[in-house]
Amino acid sequence: MARKRRGIDAPEGELEMTPMIDVVFQLLIYFIVTIKPVDVVTNLDVFRPAPNPNQPPDTKPPNLLRLGVYQDGYTLNDNPVSLDAMDSALARIARIDAGQTIMITVSAFSEHGALVRALDLCAKNGLRSLSVVSASN
């Protein structure tokens, strides 16, 4: 049927665009419907101090900040803090010395999401030197 119509409508040997455009639209719609947007993933770098007791003792930097992640909240130098308070404290610290080491102690029963949130705040304030150690409780 199509050939017959082409014979009548289109000049001989000329490419008929209509079916091609139909197919292109079909493809376009198919890909728009099936495409899955990709999540943007980021990587938060940490340093894991060696648990090996035989290794030489750490030359601890004098300005070591201790951050605790527990299942019921966060601590900063052993004082309980909220996320907002921790953010502003980290911003203050980063203004003084962004290179200083922050030791993050994580309780075994805290959720991984809580640690990532703390690491996110460190990344937000430009603190790069992060050590993660695990507490046994």
Partner 1 sequence: MKKKYADAKLDMTPMIDVVFQLIIFFITTVDMESKALETKVRMAMSPNGPVEETKDPRTVIVDVDKDGNIQIQQTTLSEGQLLAVLKKAVVASGQSTPVVIRGDYQAKHEQIKRVMDIAGRAGLWKLRFAALKEKA
- Residues contacting residue 49 through CB under 8 Å, at least 6 positions apart: 58, 131, 133
One-letter amino acid for residue 77 of the chain: N
Which chain residues interact with partner 1 by CB under 8 A? 12-15, 20, 23, 27, 31, 36-52, 69, 106-113, 115-117, 119-121, 123-124, 132, 134
State the nearest-atom distance from the C-beta of 40 to partner 1, in Å.
4
Compute the least distance from the CB of residue 36 to partner 1, in Å. 8
Complex with partner 1: residue 49 or 80, whichever CB lies closer: 49
The β-bridge partners of 105 are 68, 133
d(CA 75, CA 59) in angstroms, rounded, equals: 24
CA dist 103 and 133 (Å) reads: 7
DSSP state of 51: -
Q: Cα(125)–Cα(128) distance, rounded to whole angstroms?
A: 9
* Residue closer to partner 1 (CB basis): 19 or 62: 19
Q: CB-wise, 37 or 62, nearer to partner 1?
A: 37
Please identify which residue in the block is written with the tokens 């490419």.
Answer: 15
Nearer to partner 1, 80 or 124 (CB): 124
User: What minimum distance in Å lies between the beta carbon of 50 and partner 1?
Assistant: 6
Smallest gap from Cβ 106 to partner 1, in A, equals 5
